[in-house]
Structure 1
Amino acid sequence: MKFPEFISKVAERASLPREEADAITRATLRTLGERITGGEARDLAAQLPRELQDSLTSAPEKAEQFDLDEFVRRVAERAQVAPDDARHGVSAVFQTVEEAVSFGEFDDVMAQLPDEFGALAKPIILP
């Protein structure tokens, strides 16, 4: 998947402007890079658009341990968006990553995260 298509899908899924979707995407990948091992971050980055790879691979080699609420808090702070926008954006990024990479790779990433992260890869149905 090419970069413009990736950002467009995130924007559409999260109902956000492209600029905000871009910021949330980069913040999500940077935070994900902190939460998973360096090797896994590099494996995932290799299957994403070149423009997004640095966001994942700039983190330390060792995975940090933090929960979903902290993940969303970091994304909101980095992207300078409201926590609810960050949560919807993180979900949209996870869904788009799942679509953009091989099933095995996405499964490897999810295996390093607590179960609470699994719901992020599922579409959010708004009333």
Structure 2
Amino acid sequence: MADIPEETPLSRSEKRHLSRVGSTYAAFIRHLCEVGKLESGVAECAAVSVVNALLHRIQPGEAKDLKAQLPRKLLEFLPQEGADKPVRAFGKNRDDFLRVVAEDLGKDVSEVEPLVRAVFQGLREHISEGEAEDVESNLSPDLRDLWRRTQ
């Protein structure tokens, strides 16, 4: 009979880190549920879709800065950039943004603006004011208006 390798047990600090990662993400999703009056599953899907679309609309350096302030577990759910994945066209204006989110969520475009606003509000309250201003400065005027309506 072949020996089955034993998994290396996690250290105490690794367990604490994983706990913090999970609780930060859970708190973020709970907050989205509250501000958007959303169910947990809807909030999670909306967060991934909206954040992914947002990251594709801002400058790469700014996207990196924004990612640094997001819950790590949320980042794990975002599609990974890779050569084997087709490049998706991301427009710059509000209508394109809403269309991309609607397609990702399998919803009609008319249904997604409240979800986008809820995620934008959750993001604005989660990230620093300076980062929120930097993100805003990277958006088209009509998307900037949607970002500001969450204040």
TM-score where L is the length of structure 2: 0.70
Are 2:26 and 1:16 aligned?
no
Q: CA deviation at 1:116?
A: 1.8
Q: CA deviation at 1:7?
A: 1.2
Are 2:147 and 1:97 aligned?
no
Name the counterpart of 2:59.
Answer: 37
C-alpha distance in 1, partners of 2:111/2:30? Answer: 16
Q: CA deviation at 1:11?
A: 2.0
Q: CA offsets, 1:16-67, max 9 Å, x none? A: 21101110110001111111111111100101100122538749xxxx5521
Name the counterpart of 2:97.
Answer: 71
Q: CA deviation at 1:106?
A: 0.8
CA 1:56–1:91: 2 relative to 1, 3 Å? farther
Q: CA deviation at 1:6?
A: 1.1
Q: CA deviation at 1:79?
A: 1.7
CA 1:36–1:123: 2 relative to 1, 3 Å? closer
| Matched-pair contact (CA < 8 Å) for 1:42–1:56 | no
TM-score where L is the length of structure 1: 0.82
Name the counterpart of 1:119.
Answer: 145
| Matched-pair contact (CA < 8 Å) for 1:35–1:66 | yes
Whichever residue aligns with residue 118 of structure 2, its letter is A
Whichever residue aligns with residue 34 of structure 2, its letter is E
**Larger-Rg structure:** 2
C-alpha distance in 1, partners of 2:71/2:118? Answer: 16
| Matched-pair contact (CA < 8 Å) for 2:91–2:97 | no
Equivalent position to 2:68, from 46, 51, 60:
46
C-alpha distance in 2, partners of 1:45/1:56? Answer: 13
Name the counterpart of 1:88.
Answer: 114
CA 1:91–1:81: 2 relative to 1, 3 Å? same
Name the counterpart of 1:27.
Answer: 49
CA 1:28–1:93: 2 relative to 1, 3 Å? same
Percent identity, aligned pairs only? Answer: 32
Whichever residue aligns with residue 74 of structure 1, its letter is V
C-alpha distance in 2, partners of 1:57/1:68? Answer: 24
| Matched-pair contact (CA < 8 Å) for 1:28–1:93 | yes
Give the 4+ runs in structure 1 shifted more than 6 A. Answer: none
